[in-house]
Amino acid sequence: MGSVVSCFSDILILAPIRGITNRNFRNELQRTFGGISSGLAPFITTREDGKVSEKLIQDTDPKSNLIESIPQILTKSASQFHQVATILKNCGHKKINLNLGCPYPMVATKGKGSGMLSDPKKVEELLAGILKVADYELSVKLRLGRESSKEFEKLIPILNDLSIKDITIHPRTGIQMYGGKVDIESFDKILPQLNTIPCYNGDLTTLEDYTRLKGRYPQITRWMIGRGALINPNLFTDISDGKGSAIDLDKIKNFIISVGEHHLNTPNGKSDFLHRMRESWEYLCKNFEQEKKVYKLITKSKSIDHYNDNIKKIFSGQFQAK
Protein backbone atom coordinates (compact mmCIF):
# COMPACT_ATOMS: atom_id res chain seq x y z
CA MET A 1 0.00 0.00 0.00
CA GLY A 2 1.35 3.46 -0.93
CA SER A 3 1.74 6.25 1.56
CA VAL A 4 -1.13 8.66 2.09
CA VAL A 5 -0.47 12.10 0.67
CA SER A 6 -2.04 15.01 2.52
CA CYS A 7 -4.11 17.35 0.36
CA PHE A 8 -3.82 20.21 2.84
CA SER A 9 -2.43 23.24 1.01
CA ASP A 10 -3.13 26.23 3.23
CA ILE A 11 -0.22 28.17 4.73
CA LEU A 12 0.08 28.23 8.53
CA ILE A 13 2.16 31.07 9.96
CA LEU A 14 3.42 31.53 13.52
CA ALA A 15 2.44 34.97 14.82
CA PRO A 16 4.98 37.18 16.58
CA ILE A 17 4.61 37.21 20.37
CA ARG A 18 7.22 39.53 21.81
CA GLY A 19 9.33 37.91 24.51
CA ILE A 20 8.35 34.37 23.54
CA THR A 21 8.48 33.46 19.85
CA ASN A 22 12.16 34.16 19.24
CA ARG A 23 14.41 32.00 17.05
CA ASN A 24 15.03 29.52 19.84
CA PHE A 25 11.29 29.05 20.43
CA ARG A 26 10.45 28.89 16.71
CA ASN A 27 13.12 26.29 16.03
CA GLU A 28 12.12 24.07 18.95
CA LEU A 29 8.43 24.36 18.07
CA GLN A 30 9.11 23.19 14.52
CA ARG A 31 11.63 20.55 15.58
CA THR A 32 9.34 18.99 18.21
CA PHE A 33 5.87 19.45 16.74
CA GLY A 34 6.22 20.61 13.13
CA GLY A 35 3.53 21.85 10.75
CA ILE A 36 4.65 25.50 10.54
CA SER A 37 4.94 27.01 7.06
CA SER A 38 6.70 30.19 8.18
CA GLY A 39 6.86 32.64 11.06
CA LEU A 40 6.72 36.37 11.62
CA ALA A 41 9.46 37.39 14.04
CA PRO A 42 8.82 39.81 16.94
CA PHE A 43 9.19 43.43 15.84
CA ILE A 44 12.36 45.44 15.59
CA THR A 45 11.87 49.06 16.69
CA THR A 46 13.61 51.77 14.68
CA ARG A 47 15.43 54.67 16.32
CA GLU A 48 16.20 58.21 15.21
CA ASP A 49 19.91 57.68 15.84
CA GLY A 50 19.90 54.73 13.43
CA LYS A 51 20.94 52.18 16.02
CA VAL A 52 19.33 48.77 15.72
CA SER A 53 19.28 45.71 17.96
CA GLU A 54 21.88 43.29 16.62
CA LYS A 55 20.22 40.57 18.70
CA LEU A 56 16.91 41.02 16.86
CA ILE A 57 18.66 41.14 13.49
CA GLN A 58 20.41 37.85 14.25
CA ASP A 59 17.14 36.37 15.49
CA THR A 60 15.83 36.26 11.91
CA ASP A 61 19.07 35.03 10.28
CA PRO A 62 17.89 32.67 7.51
CA LYS A 63 20.85 30.36 8.07
CA SER A 64 19.92 29.62 11.69
CA ASN A 65 16.12 29.38 11.43
CA LEU A 66 14.39 26.08 10.70
CA ILE A 67 11.42 27.93 9.17
CA GLU A 68 11.30 31.05 7.04
CA SER A 69 11.24 33.82 9.63
CA ILE A 70 10.07 37.13 8.19
CA PRO A 71 11.37 40.15 10.08
CA GLN A 72 8.93 42.78 11.28
CA ILE A 73 9.65 46.48 11.81
CA LEU A 74 7.80 48.88 14.11
CA THR A 75 8.13 52.52 13.08
CA LYS A 76 6.34 55.64 11.88
CA SER A 77 9.20 56.75 9.63
CA ALA A 78 9.64 55.48 6.08
CA SER A 79 13.33 56.40 6.03
CA GLN A 80 13.98 54.58 9.32
CA PHE A 81 12.06 51.56 8.05
CA HIS A 82 14.16 51.43 4.89
CA GLN A 83 17.36 51.85 6.88
CA VAL A 84 16.64 48.74 8.95
CA ALA A 85 15.13 46.91 5.97
CA THR A 86 18.35 47.40 4.03
CA ILE A 87 20.29 45.65 6.81
CA LEU A 88 17.78 42.81 6.76
CA LYS A 89 17.84 42.55 2.97
CA ASN A 90 21.62 42.25 3.08
CA CYS A 91 21.14 39.33 5.49
CA GLY A 92 19.15 37.51 2.82
CA HIS A 93 15.53 38.57 3.45
CA LYS A 94 13.29 39.20 0.44
CA LYS A 95 10.16 40.12 2.40
CA ILE A 96 9.88 42.51 5.35
CA ASN A 97 6.78 43.24 7.43
CA LEU A 98 5.48 46.57 8.74
CA ASN A 99 3.76 46.42 12.13
CA LEU A 100 0.55 48.48 12.07
CA GLY A 101 -1.21 46.39 14.68
CA CYS A 102 0.66 46.51 17.99
CA PRO A 103 -2.03 47.41 20.56
CA TYR A 104 0.11 48.27 23.57
CA PRO A 105 -0.45 51.84 24.80
CA MET A 106 3.29 52.53 25.19
CA VAL A 107 3.58 51.94 21.44
CA ALA A 108 0.25 53.33 20.23
CA THR A 109 0.53 56.65 22.08
CA LYS A 110 3.70 57.33 20.08
CA GLY A 111 1.76 56.96 16.83
CA LYS A 112 3.21 53.55 16.03
CA GLY A 113 1.54 50.19 15.50
CA SER A 114 -2.24 50.43 15.87
CA GLY A 115 -1.76 54.00 17.06
CA MET A 116 -1.37 55.12 13.45
CA LEU A 117 -4.57 53.54 12.14
CA SER A 118 -6.81 56.44 13.16
CA ASP A 119 -4.84 58.71 10.79
CA PRO A 120 -5.15 57.29 7.25
CA LYS A 121 -3.05 60.13 5.80
CA LYS A 122 -0.06 59.11 7.94
CA VAL A 123 -0.59 55.46 7.00
CA GLU A 124 -0.58 56.38 3.32
CA GLU A 125 2.53 58.54 3.66
CA LEU A 126 4.37 55.78 5.51
CA LEU A 127 3.44 53.03 3.04
CA ALA A 128 4.08 55.16 -0.02
CA GLY A 129 7.40 56.34 1.38
CA ILE A 130 8.55 52.77 1.99
CA LEU A 131 7.40 51.50 -1.41
CA LYS A 132 9.08 54.38 -3.22
CA VAL A 133 12.54 53.05 -2.37
CA ALA A 134 11.85 49.40 -1.47
CA ASP A 135 13.85 46.76 -3.28
CA TYR A 136 12.19 44.05 -1.18
CA GLU A 137 8.60 42.84 -0.83
CA LEU A 138 6.59 44.75 1.76
CA SER A 139 3.99 42.96 3.86
CA VAL A 140 1.72 44.63 6.40
CA LYS A 141 0.09 43.36 9.59
CA LEU A 142 -2.68 45.51 10.99
CA ARG A 143 -5.87 45.66 13.03
CA LEU A 144 -9.29 47.06 12.16
CA GLY A 145 -8.40 50.40 13.71
CA ARG A 146 -7.20 51.96 16.90
CA GLU A 147 -10.55 52.77 18.49
CA SER A 148 -13.16 51.71 15.93
CA SER A 149 -13.43 49.17 13.12
CA LYS A 150 -14.86 51.98 10.98
CA GLU A 151 -11.33 53.36 10.72
CA PHE A 152 -10.48 50.52 8.36
CA GLU A 153 -12.92 51.82 5.74
CA LYS A 154 -10.52 54.69 4.97
CA LEU A 155 -7.56 52.32 4.82
CA ILE A 156 -9.03 50.04 2.14
CA PRO A 157 -8.48 52.41 -0.83
CA ILE A 158 -4.93 53.09 0.38
CA LEU A 159 -4.05 49.39 0.52
CA ASN A 160 -5.68 48.82 -2.87
CA ASP A 161 -4.14 51.84 -4.63
CA LEU A 162 -0.65 51.00 -3.37
CA SER A 163 -1.11 47.34 -4.39
CA ILE A 164 -0.07 45.89 -1.04
CA LYS A 165 -0.19 42.18 -1.86
CA ASP A 166 0.59 40.66 1.54
CA ILE A 167 -1.78 41.83 4.25
CA THR A 168 -2.53 40.19 7.59
CA ILE A 169 -5.62 41.37 9.45
CA HIS A 170 -6.38 40.83 13.12
CA PRO A 171 -10.10 41.67 13.46
CA ARG A 172 -9.82 43.62 16.68
CA THR A 173 -9.19 47.28 17.42
CA GLY A 174 -6.05 48.39 19.19
CA ILE A 175 -7.86 49.42 22.36
CA GLN A 176 -9.30 45.90 22.64
CA MET A 177 -5.79 44.56 23.14
CA TYR A 178 -6.47 40.79 23.14
CA GLY A 179 -9.75 40.91 25.05
CA GLY A 180 -13.32 40.62 23.85
CA LYS A 181 -14.33 38.88 20.66
CA VAL A 182 -12.85 39.30 17.22
CA ASP A 183 -15.12 41.46 15.04
CA ILE A 184 -16.07 38.91 12.39
CA GLU A 185 -18.93 41.04 11.06
CA SER A 186 -16.57 43.92 10.24
CA PHE A 187 -14.11 41.49 8.69
CA ASP A 188 -16.95 40.15 6.52
CA LYS A 189 -17.55 43.65 5.14
CA ILE A 190 -13.87 44.37 4.55
CA LEU A 191 -12.93 41.16 2.76
CA PRO A 192 -14.74 41.71 -0.58
CA GLN A 193 -13.49 45.29 -0.79
CA LEU A 194 -9.80 44.37 -0.74
CA ASN A 195 -7.98 43.70 -3.99
CA THR A 196 -5.91 41.01 -2.30
CA ILE A 197 -7.06 38.14 -0.11
CA PRO A 198 -5.54 38.73 3.33
CA CYS A 199 -4.04 36.38 5.86
CA TYR A 200 -6.37 35.91 8.83
CA ASN A 201 -5.10 36.28 12.41
CA GLY A 202 -7.03 36.21 15.66
CA ASP A 203 -8.53 33.67 18.12
CA LEU A 204 -7.54 30.67 16.03
CA THR A 205 -6.84 28.38 18.95
CA THR A 206 -8.22 24.95 17.97
CA LEU A 207 -8.76 22.72 14.94
CA GLU A 208 -12.47 23.49 15.33
CA ASP A 209 -11.74 27.23 15.05
CA TYR A 210 -9.85 26.64 11.81
CA THR A 211 -12.59 24.40 10.39
CA ARG A 212 -15.26 26.98 11.21
CA LEU A 213 -13.29 29.90 9.78
CA LYS A 214 -12.25 27.97 6.66
CA GLY A 215 -15.90 27.16 6.06
CA ARG A 216 -16.77 30.83 6.36
CA TYR A 217 -13.81 32.05 4.28
CA PRO A 218 -12.89 29.31 1.77
CA GLN A 219 -10.96 31.87 -0.28
CA ILE A 220 -8.48 32.50 2.53
CA THR A 221 -5.44 30.23 2.33
CA ARG A 222 -3.09 31.88 4.84
CA TRP A 223 -3.68 31.70 8.58
CA MET A 224 -1.58 33.23 11.32
CA ILE A 225 -1.65 31.54 14.72
CA GLY A 226 -0.25 33.00 17.92
CA ARG A 227 -1.65 32.28 21.37
CA GLY A 228 -3.32 29.07 20.19
CA ALA A 229 0.07 27.58 19.37
CA LEU A 230 1.54 28.72 22.68
CA ILE A 231 -1.18 26.76 24.46
CA ASN A 232 -1.17 23.76 22.11
CA PRO A 233 2.21 23.52 20.37
CA ASN A 234 0.84 20.74 18.15
CA LEU A 235 -1.90 22.97 16.72
CA PHE A 236 -0.21 23.48 13.35
CA THR A 237 0.00 19.73 12.80
CA ASP A 238 -3.53 19.19 14.13
CA ILE A 239 -4.82 21.61 11.48
CA SER A 240 -2.72 20.35 8.58
CA ASP A 241 -3.60 16.71 9.41
CA GLY A 242 -7.25 17.59 9.84
CA LYS A 243 -7.58 15.67 13.07
CA GLY A 244 -7.13 16.71 16.65
CA SER A 245 -4.72 14.84 18.86
CA ALA A 246 -4.64 14.19 22.57
CA ILE A 247 -2.31 16.40 24.58
CA ASP A 248 1.12 14.76 24.69
CA LEU A 249 2.67 15.89 27.97
CA ASP A 250 5.93 14.09 27.21
CA LYS A 251 6.41 16.12 24.01
CA ILE A 252 5.48 19.33 25.83
CA LYS A 253 7.99 18.46 28.54
CA ASN A 254 10.78 17.82 26.01
CA PHE A 255 9.86 21.01 24.16
CA ILE A 256 9.88 23.39 27.11
CA ILE A 257 13.03 21.84 28.59
CA SER A 258 14.82 22.33 25.26
CA VAL A 259 13.59 25.92 25.02
CA GLY A 260 14.97 26.57 28.50
CA GLU A 261 18.32 24.90 27.84
CA HIS A 262 18.87 26.84 24.65
CA HIS A 263 17.93 30.08 26.39
CA LEU A 264 20.54 29.47 29.07
CA ASN A 265 23.16 29.29 26.31
CA THR A 266 22.33 32.77 25.02
CA PRO A 267 24.14 35.90 26.27
CA ASN A 268 22.71 36.91 29.66
CA GLY A 269 20.38 33.93 29.43
CA LYS A 270 20.61 33.18 33.13
CA SER A 271 19.58 36.68 34.19
CA ASP A 272 16.14 36.61 32.57
CA PHE A 273 15.57 32.84 32.47
CA LEU A 274 12.78 32.69 35.05
CA HIS A 275 10.97 35.63 33.45
CA ARG A 276 11.11 34.07 29.98
CA MET A 277 9.94 30.70 31.21
CA ARG A 278 7.04 32.28 33.11
CA GLU A 279 5.89 33.93 29.87
CA SER A 280 5.72 30.57 28.09
CA TRP A 281 4.09 28.80 31.03
CA GLU A 282 1.34 31.40 31.17
CA TYR A 283 0.02 29.56 28.11
CA LEU A 284 1.34 26.00 28.58
CA CYS A 285 -0.31 25.67 31.99
CA LYS A 286 -3.70 25.63 30.23
CA ASN A 287 -2.98 22.04 29.14
CA PHE A 288 -3.46 20.86 32.72
CA GLU A 289 -6.66 20.30 34.70
CA GLN A 290 -5.10 22.18 37.62
CA GLU A 291 -3.67 24.96 35.49
CA LYS A 292 -3.60 27.53 38.30
CA LYS A 293 -1.58 25.24 40.57
CA VAL A 294 0.82 24.43 37.74
CA TYR A 295 1.36 28.08 36.93
CA LYS A 296 1.78 28.92 40.60
CA LEU A 297 4.65 26.42 40.82
CA ILE A 298 6.36 28.21 37.95
CA THR A 299 5.83 31.70 39.37
CA LYS A 300 7.06 30.61 42.80
CA SER A 301 10.35 29.32 41.38
CA LYS A 302 13.12 31.35 43.02
CA SER A 303 16.08 30.00 41.06
CA ILE A 304 16.89 27.98 37.96
CA ASP A 305 17.39 24.85 40.09
CA HIS A 306 14.09 25.48 41.85
CA TYR A 307 12.39 25.89 38.47
CA ASN A 308 13.87 22.59 37.23
CA ASP A 309 12.65 20.83 40.37
CA ASN A 310 9.16 22.22 39.78
CA ILE A 311 9.25 21.07 36.15
CA LYS A 312 9.92 17.52 37.38
CA LYS A 313 7.01 17.86 39.79
CA ILE A 314 4.65 19.15 37.09
CA PHE A 315 5.41 16.22 34.79
CA SER A 316 5.60 13.59 37.54
CA GLY A 317 2.02 12.49 36.95
CA GLN A 318 0.30 14.31 39.78
CA PHE A 319 -1.09 16.90 37.34
CA GLN A 320 -3.40 15.51 34.66
CA ALA A 321 -3.73 16.79 31.11
CA LYS A 322 -7.09 18.26 30.07
What letter represents residue 93's amino acid? H
Q: Is residue 1 part of a domain?
A: no
- Domain of residue 93: give its range: 11-241
pTM for this entry: 0.95
Q: Is residue 23 part of a domain?
A: yes
Give 94-103 pLDDT, tens digit per residue. Answer: 999 999 999 9
Distance CA 199, CA 54 (A): 29
Judge whether residue 3 has pLDDT over 70: no
Please report the beta strands in 54-165, taking only residues with DSSP state E, as ranges in sequence order.
68-70, 72-74, 95-100, 137-145
Give 152-178 pLDDT, tens digit per residue. Answer: 999 999 999 999 999 999 999 999 999
Judge whether residue 288 has pLDDT over 70: yes
Query: Do residues 59 and 197 share a domain?
Result: yes
What CATH number is attached to the domain comprising 172?
Answer: 3.20.20.70
Query: Do residues 87 and 215 share a domain?
Result: yes
Listed residues 241, 260, 277: the one ending a domain: 241
C-alpha pair distances (Å), 204 with each of 30, 131, 242, 274: 18, 31, 14, 28
Query: Do residues 169 and 265 share a domain?
Result: no
Q: Is residue 128 part of a domain?
A: yes
Query: Do residues 271 and 234 share a domain?
Result: no
Query: Do residues 299 and 212 share a domain?
Result: no
Give 56-76 pLDDT, tens digit per residue. Answer: 999 999 999 999 999 999 999
Query: Do residues 46 and 133 share a domain?
Result: yes
The reported pLDDT for the residue numbered 244 is 87
> Are the C-beta atoms of 114 and 169 separated by less than 8 Å?
no
**Which entry of 7, 102, 199, 285 is annotated as an active-site residue?**
102
Q: How many domains does the chain have?
A: 2
Q: Is residue 49 part of a domain?
A: yes
Does 199 qualify as catalytic in the annotation?
no
Query: Do residues 70 and 145 share a domain?
Result: yes
C-alpha pair distances (Å), 292 with each of 282, 289, 310: 9, 9, 14
Query: Do residues 282 and 166 share a domain?
Result: no
The reported pLDDT for the residue numbered 7 is 83
The reported pLDDT for the residue numbered 6 is 60
Judge whether residue 1 has pLDDT over 70: no
Q: Which backbone phi and psi does 53 adopt, to 5 degrees?
A: -70, 115
Q: Is residue 3 part of a domain?
A: no
| Torsion of the alpha carbons at 239, 13, 285 and 212, rounded to the nearest 10 | -40
Give 182-240 pLDDT, tens digit per residue. Answer: 999 999 999 999 999 999 999 999 999 999 999 999 999 999 999 999 999 999 999 99
Distance CA 309, CA 125 (A): 54
Please report the beta strands in 15-114, taking only residues with DSSP state E, as ranges in sequence order.
38-40, 44-45, 68-70, 72-74, 95-100
